[in-house]
Amino acid sequence: DIGGCIDPAMEILNDIAHKPIPDELQKELFNYCLKSFTSRIFKGWDRHFGMLDLAAVLAKDSAEASQVHSHLDQVKPSGQSWDWDFKNAQLIRVKLINKTEGEESANLFLEKNITNPDFRKKVIENAIAKKDYSKAINLAEAGIKFDDRNSPGLADDWRDYLLKVSVIQNDTEQILKYARHLFIRGNRVKKPYFDLIKKHTRPENWEIALAAIIKDISADNRWDGNPLIADLYIWEEQWEKLFDFVKSNISLDKLETYEKHLMNDYADEISDLYQLAIFKYMENNISRDHYQNACRYLRRMIKMGARVKANYVIQELRKLYPKRKALMEELLKV
């Protein structure tokens, strides 16, 4: 509740700071921001650095800018891989430099502190915008070396920039290299990378390339069933292979996920698999919630036109688990 009051109060102060205000009010609010930061009354909340951010917005001359810089100087790097306080102080500082010293000075500060990922992104984007692709590539490659071990998500951000430059330069080899890596190993939306791979692979080589991708996914990803492979089959409309994937390790969730893609060609087989999956599911799941879930899939079978098969499952469950009173009650509702 207290936080709910402070947030809109901060928004009000931020609105005031960005408007033309009398010198007396500007000075009062500027001093309040510095005092709040020094006394650490918001330490542990975003508002702690929010106060310095406001002070940077309010600073109207070099003397006040120097005061903000002095407070920022108090924030030292912790040596941790993700030093939120220090990186936040750097972000405030570069905004202040840009405001008081100009864009060129701000860009120099960005480049001197390139290990800050926000700064690296900004410098790379500036280089791409200026068509200085060599600089963008060097910065992104250095970022990969810096972050690959401890921050693989950031390293993939740098690969994304390399992919972007490769697309601009129409460098097929590099496009395939980075799109393939990000598709198989990156933790991000997969389809755009797949589309790039297919677009830049010769049609006569596509089947071989696709088989190699599937092989690499199988080797690289250990989670059950490799749903990324199933996505490939869907995108390529390889329904027989998708059906083989679904029945290779039957589960109710998997059937529900892929059913819509297979009903046209495999409706009868899908209802058979639902039968098997429900029996398998009921072996070790013995709470009412589980029974209700099983009955939900029975209703799904009925909806797809497999009433006879659903009735058979109900009859067998009654024979197999007559002492499960909650199950008997739920089956009556189907």
Instruction: Please state the rounded mean pLDDT for residues 62-89.
Output: 89
pLDDT beyond 70 at 14: yes
d(CA 180, CA 19): 49
Tell me the mean pLDDT in the region 256-280.
95
293/252 Cα distance (integer angstroms)? 10
Per-residue confidence band for 5, with pLDDT thresholds at 50, 70 and 90: confident
Residue of higher predicted confidence among 165 and 79: 165
Specify the pLDDT at position 3.
Answer: 77
Q: What percent of the chain has pLDDT above 90?
A: 88
Q: Are 334 and 322 in contact (CB under 8 A)?
A: no
Query: What pLDDT does residue 221 have?
Result: 60
Q: Is the pLDDT at 225 greater than 90, yes or no?
A: no
Q: Sign of torsion, CA 196 197 201 203? A: negative
Query: CB burial class (10 A; 0-12, 13-18, 19+) of residue 142?
Result: middle
Residue environment code for 190-223, b if the CB has 16+ CB neighbours within 10 A, otherwise e: beebbebbbebbeeeeeeebbeebbeebeeeeee
Q: Are 122 and 136 in contact (CB under 8 A)?
A: no
Q: For 284, what's the count of Cα atoms within 13 Å in the CB-facing half-sphere?
A: 2
pLDDT average, residue stretch 232-242:
97
| pLDDT higher than threshold 80 for residue 224 | no
pTM: 0.82
